[in-house]
Chains A and B, each alone.
Chain A
């Protein structure tokens, strides 16, 4: 029974208590890039993330509604966030992903340029959205501050809301 072992056990129990402490005020997000910006949504709102698959255009819809696609038997709308955010559309690349978000019965796929990573962020590090962007209409839930960058946290219900 060496000191080393004790050390390790201590360390582990410390870690455990740490995670327990944090579980309350830590938010888990998944970050992604659209254009130049990094955005994030709560990890629990994500049903899955898939590589681009074939989709079908739906007429009489705004440009950002790319169409619908088949996700294991369900027909799901596909929304291009580049166009929705006013950027020019881009060809899908190897890094493009479909982000399938779900809230209640509402499900939709979103085209994003690139995934970054799962992020754990303390609640106190999340600031409110800029004053000009506050309100029910805003898609921004808050702004998360990290060491070297900030990321915009989006409201999932707003993303899934039909606005045309």
Chain B
């Protein structure tokens, strides 16, 4: 019952929207009768309403729209010119349609409006005689045929008479029909019961399918639609008395379809609101960060507590607000699930299989946009289960399974995601068969097939161009199904997991994020850049030393417990310049996408953060491997990795060769004159710098000065100069000489840059520290100008001819 109400609800909302649009279009059409686009649009509206209303057994409406469709169809094929006269009739029919929709909204039935006059005029226009006799019952399930024919009776003057008429008519004919229907259902139930008994199951009290049938059965009766035998227009009656209807209409129809207590809000507004919340979340992150900083700096101060309170309230409210706004976009997944019982019923008939559908968790809520996206994939999956999964009853019995196959459809929350699971107890997937099939179609190579695990083999059904059905059936198996499913699910950042046991059934698990706008992400660092990886696709992270990485056929791999995991460096994918020297240790982020796994090597793990996904805009959209960007607490932009694309790219990336070779070439440029040599002097004392300058000036080399470590590092980072050596004082503000040397040595390109300590520190431990931090020479103050000059000459391989 509720299901019907819901469909009706949707139908009404859609129809009213369509009709509203139709009015505008028609008016435009009159002034612009040649516009094919417009005609097509109007035709589609009539067609859509017809289709839906016939499904819902609104026969008067179907009747009317059917004829409208005829006229419009002729018009759009150019067989009919839209004259104002034609338009009058079309407009009249649309008015009638609106009136009918109103009646349906108020009473859940479309009786009570006479459309015959209009229909006959429509018919005349479309080339008919105007003698439209039969309200065609489009839905026509087998058991409804009979009443439809019988009810070709006289036109009704009033709705009250309609019931009478129905009553009159319901003599032998209707009696016979009811008897037939009952017999049919009894037979069906009996068969079902027998099947259950055969399967050794307990017979349930209620027959499993009565609901849907009951609904259809009575609905077929009010097909006593007015019929136009004479083209005389009848007064249209807009409202039907519910009391009269009571007898005729099915119980389901008696309750008026009250429009839900809701406001329809433009999705754009909600999106805008969501964006604003996103901004707020970012600001919150920033506030928390600042709070942490302040806490550190003013430890123990009294105002801190107050600040802390405010920050936590803001953060709490922001989170609540975010959830609240997210909720406004949420719909129960039942919206999608509702159409499946009927689908299963039709499919089982079509396929001559016995299938039962068990639904649970239909209250689980999901973002509207996601609900819209997963409808089609689920249809595909369930069709597949029916078609390929569940065996025909004989086979099932032979296998000792219950004759009726079961498909379980359930939805539940798991952390920040929704899991939708489709289980069937069918024949399951045969990994070897799948591999053979793929080999046959050249989707995989022999070698790939050999090393493939069962689970990976199951994943093959998602390959484009794959279809397991030996013959293409009406239901599934056009070879596009499952890969489309996968793409659609991945579009909403979802993950598909498939598991199967031969002979026992298949289980498909869809893991779908609650919302698309805000996600949990793992932030990783590579060289000086940061990237965000959606946490949903991160299985684990491991710290490895570089010698755990092996190279197999030009690809990096590592052992992860008992598996071999292929590796790819994030820097290779995103063309990150290797300026920092790689350390012996690396972090591997294990990414999982369905059955695929990939190890992503990163330099550092920064942490987990809630991020707001922002698009890169039209200019930069569609960049491979990048799903979007987010703004971090510090105001910087961090790119979000597109894991799906990354997996694809990774296939083409070879193991990274050490990047050292090309950078050293830069440093060893041919020197043609003394001033080609560049030396940096780092000392906080101006006098000391002057002394060094004086000592080296005579060589004619180019000198650059920096007054502390930080400044020196900045000059290096800018890369404006290629230095041949650096003279570094140890005792300096901001960054001392040792730290500077350590920092410099992190950069690949400065690995071989001679660093010369010039200091008054003379102890042995100081010298040791100098060596440890990468200094090659240690000059103690005071020194002679000649000595300094000779040390520098030696270290830069100063050519004697320049002297």
Contact = CB atoms under 8 A, between A and B. Distances in A.
5 contacts: A70-B635, A75-B629, A108-B617, A162-B618, A162-B620
A160 B629 contact: no
A105 B626 contact: no
Nearest to B570: A59
A117 B780 CA distance: 56
Given A60-B626, A73-B631, A75-B617, A68 B279 contact: no
Interface string B526-553: 0001000000000000000000000000
Given A54-B636, A56-B529, A56-B629, A106 B619 contact: yes
A77 B639 CA distance: 12
**Interface size of B as a range:** 20 to 34
Nearest to A160: B619
Given A68-B637, A73-B279, A75-B637, A60 B631 contact: no
A91 interface: yes
B525 to A, nearest CB: 13
A58 interface: yes
Nearest to B278: A73
Contacts of B625: 59-60
Interface string A53-84: 01111111100010111100111110000000
B623 interface: yes
B201 to A, nearest CB: 58
A140 interface: no
B619 A70 contact: no
A76 B617 contact: yes
B619 A73 contact: no
Nearest to B612: A73
A40 interface: no
Given A59-B623, A74-B614, A105-B618, A69 B637 contact: yes
B617 A77 contact: yes
Interface size class of A (residues with CB under 8 A): 20 to 34
Contacts of A107: 617
Given A58-B623, A58-B626, A77 B616 contact: yes
B638 A59 contact: no
B132 to A, nearest CB: 51
B639 to A, nearest CB: 6
B350 interface: no
Contacts of A67: 637
B618 A73 contact: no
A91 B279 contact: no
A56 B623 contact: no
Contacts of B279: 73
Contacts of B629: 56, 68, 75
Contact of B616 (A75, A91, A106): A75
B620 A59 contact: no
Identify the interface centre among A59, A108, A162: most chain B CB within 10 Å of its CB: A59
B529 to A, nearest CB: 7
Interface in B616-649: 616-620, 623-626, 629, 631, 635-639
Interface string A93-117: 0000000000001111000000000
Interface of B is mostly: mixed
B720 interface: yes
A33 B176 CA distance: 92
B623 A61 contact: yes
Interface string A134-148: 000000000000000
Contacts of B616: 58, 68, 75, 77
A68 B620 contact: yes
A58 B575 CA distance: 10
A145 B507 CA distance: 73
A75 B619 CA distance: 11
Contacts of B619: 77, 106, 108, 160, 162
Contacts of B802: none
B614 A75 contact: yes
A162 B621 CA distance: 9
Contacts of B787: none
Contacts, number: 72
B783 interface: no
A34 B619 CA distance: 22
Nearest to B638: A56
B631 A75 contact: yes
Nearest to A72: B279
A56 B618 CA distance: 17
Contacts of B631: 70, 73, 75
Nearest to B637: A56
Interface in B257-279: 279
A80 to B, nearest CB: 14
Contacts of B615: 75
Given A58-B626, A60-B575, A60-B625, A70 B617 contact: no
Contacts of B639: 56, 58-59, 68
Interface string B545-582: 00000000000000000000000000001111000000
Nearest to B276: A73
B282 A73 contact: yes
Most B-side CB within 10 Å, residue of A75, A76, A107, A162: A75
Interface in B707-742: 718, 720
A60 B574 contact: yes
Contacts of A77: 616-617, 619-620
A61 B636 contact: no
A91 B639 CA distance: 24
Interface in B419-447: none
Given A75-B617, A106-B618, A56 B636 contact: yes
A135 B617 CA distance: 27
A55 B575 contact: no
Ordered nearest first, which 4 A-B pairs have the shortest CB separation? Answer: A59-B574, A56-B637, A75-B629, A77-B619
A133 to B, nearest CB: 23
Contacts of A108: 617, 619
Interface in B747-784: none
Contacts of A70: 631, 635-637
Nearest to B620: A77
A108 B616 CA distance: 10
Contacts of A61: 620, 623
A65 B621 CA distance: 13
Given A54-B636, A58-B639, A106 B617 contact: yes
Tell me which of B529, B614, B619 has the highest count of chain A C-beta atoms within 10 A of its own C-beta.
B619
A43 to B, nearest CB: 22
A160 B619 CA distance: 7
A16 to B, nearest CB: 42
A91 B718 CA distance: 8
Nearest to A56: B637
Contacts of A73: 279, 282, 631
Nearest to B275: A73
Nearest to A163: B619
Interface in A33-60: 54-60
Contacts of A54: 635-636
Interface string B208-226: 0000000000000000000
Interface in A144-164: 160, 162
Contacts of A76: 617
Given A75-B617, A76-B617, A60 B636 contact: no
A55 B637 contact: yes
A63 to B, nearest CB: 11
Interface in B591-631: 614-620, 623-626, 629, 631
A65 B619 CA distance: 10
Of listed B529, B616, B617, residue having the most chain A CB within 10 A: B617
A108 B529 CA distance: 22
Contacts of B623: 58-61
Contacts of B620: 58, 61, 65, 68, 77, 162
A59 B626 contact: yes
A73 B720 CA distance: 33
A74 B635 CA distance: 11
Contacts of A75: 614-617, 629, 631, 637
